[in-house]
Structures are given as structure tokens and as C-alpha cells.
Amino acid sequence: MQSSGKIYQWSINIVMLLFTLFCVLPFWLLFSGSLTDDMELVRNGYAFFPDRLSLTAYGYLWNTSTDIARAYGITILTTVVGTTFGLSLTAMLAYPLSRTEMPFRNGLAFFVFFTMLFNGGLVPNYLLYTNYFDLKNTLMALIIPGLLMNGFFIILMRTFFASSIPKAIIESAYIDGAKEWKIFLQIVLPLSTPVLATVGLFYTILYWNDWFNGLIYLTDSRYYSLQNLLNRILLDVQFLQNSTQAGSRAAEFAANIPLASMRMAMAAIGVVPLLLAYPFFQKYFVKGLTIGAVKG
């Protein structure tokens, strides 16, 4: 009996180890490719241990370090502001929807769910945000359209509030004379740390990786986020390599740019902050996601 238990435990450990390797190896390949000589990548493809190390890709990106630093600042600002406001608005809508005594609760919940299935379309959204809200070429264009509120996050948080916050605590607070805002801020939110951290991580990833809003609503490079700037650099390099005439100085410059390794270096620059931030959310992530998904 004891022997079979050990075999089972070893089997689970091996499976989890393999799963961890499958998660880590793509990032290892990413960083390895960014440090590999471009000609080596063209000849032999990507490898976990490069034969010829090269920092050329990072050297070319260093030439645009001022723009990258500004784009980093814009991305950090929009991520912090967007996550803060998105998380606050989501919690303030999800909590009333979790209260059974709220009038029209089911109708409002259906309205939230409806937004997960249908939207107004790209052209109406663009006209609305540019002509009526005047968000074009502003930082708000990176925060509000399509990202500030999310129906799935609202339902996830509503389910957590309904299934994990004891009603007896809220009723006792009522008896002691507490009002709704005090109950929400001093009782409900402190008990909801797992789901707040989980949804906060989701919002952080959405805002950090977003490039679509910048592509649609921005034409001024001063407001480019990190993803938009890296994408624009890559497109510019590809344009130079494909469009310049042979023998010209621009063609020679473009031919020497390590495009393959530069792609990997750009991805590495974009993903490193998320890799550093994830361990701080990890202990809340699984708990908040599973508890919030138990009941509908």
C-alpha cells in the first residue's frame, strides 16, 4: 500500500515536472534566439543553446532606447491606471449583482453577459470614440476602448462575492449600523483578496499586451505604447529590406539588420516585466479563479 502511494506520488511529480518544462522551454528558446547571431538563425534555425552568441539585435534596439523608454513609461502608466480603474469599476458593479435583494439584478446580469457575445463593431466603435469622445491621439485611447470593463471579469467577481462572502457578516454589519459603502470597502473587499488579485492580473496582462487600440486610435508616435513601438520598428525594418533598391546605402543598412533575432529581442523586452510581476500574484491566482468559478 505504501509502495503504491510512493509510485503515485512520483508519477505526479514527473508529470508536473514535464508540464513545468513545457512552460519554461518556450521562454528559454525566446531568450536564446534573441542572443543568437542572425546568420546562425537563418542557417540552422532556433536552438536552446546557440553556437554563436550575439548582442547585435539588442544593439539595434539600443539605438532607439529613448523611444523605447518613453514607450515603457506610457505602457506602465496605462497599465497601472487602466488596471486600477478597471478593477474598481468591475468590483463596484459585481458586488450589487451578487446581492439577491437588488432590484432588476437578473436583467442587469443578462446585459453584462450579452456584451460577451455581441459588440457594436469596429467602425461604430471608432466613430464613437473619435468623433464623440475625442479620444484619438490621447492616452485615454489606450485605456478606455474595449479594455476598461470586461463582462467575464464582472461575472467571475460576482460569483465570488455570492459564493464566498458569508451573508451573516453583511447582516451583522447592517445590525451594527454600517452603510453599503462601509460594508463594501471595509468588509467585502478585504475578504476578496484572491479574486481581486486574479482579476487584477488579467487586467494587467490585457493592458500590457494591448496593441490594437494604439493601431486604431493613434497616429502620433509620442503616445505609442511598448507593443505599438516594437511593432512599428519591426514593420519599418521589413519595409526597408523589401523595398529599397539593390546597391543603395539604405539597402545595405537594411540587409545588415538582424531581423530574425530582433523579433525575439522585441518579444523578450515585452515579456520580461510580466514574468517578474507574475510571482507576486501567483499565490492568489489559482484560489481566486477556482473559488470564483464554482457557482454560477
CATH number at residue 158: 1.10.3720.10
3-state secondary structure of 189: coil
pLDDT of 262:
73
Asked if residue 38 is part of any domain, the answer here is no
Do you know the residue count of the chain? 296
pLDDT at 253: 58
Q: What is the pLDDT of residue 121?
A: 82
Structural contact between residues 155 and 113, judged by C-beta atoms closer than 8 angstroms? yes
In a domain, 42, yes or no: no
Q: Which domain holds residue 78?
A: 56-291
Helix%, strand%, coil% for the chain, nearest 5: 75, 0, 20
Q: What is the largest CA-CA distance in the chain?
A: 84
Digit-by-digit pLDDT tens for the chain (296 residues) are: 556 667 778 888 888 888 888 888 888 877 887 777 767 766 776 777 777 777 777 777 777 778 888 888 899 999 999 999 999 999 999 888 888 888 888 888 888 888 888 877 888 888 889 888 888 888 898 999 888 888 899 998 898 888 888 888 888 888 878 788 888 888 888 888 888 888 888 898 899 888 898 889 988 888 888 888 888 877 777 776 666 554 556 555 555 666 667 777 777 877 877 777 777 766 665 554 444 444 44
Phi, psi of 218 (to 5 degrees): -115, 135
**Residue 250 has what pLDDT?**
57
C-beta separation of 95 from 184 below 8 A: yes
Residue 129 lies in a domain: yes
Quote the pLDDT of residue 286.
57
Within-domain flag for 271:
yes
Q: All 3 cell numbers of residue 244? A: 529599397
What pLDDT sits at residue 294?
44
For residue 50, tell me if it sits in a domain: no
Which residue carries 547585435 as its cell?
56
Structural domain includes residue 9: no
DSSP type of residue 135: -
* Within a domain: 278: yes
Q: Where are the beta strands (DSSP E) in 105-224?
A: none
pLDDT at res. 241: 64
Q: How many domains does the chain have?
A: 1
Res 78: pLDDT: 93
3-class secondary structure, 53: strand
Q: What pTM, to 2 d.p., does this model score?
A: 0.78
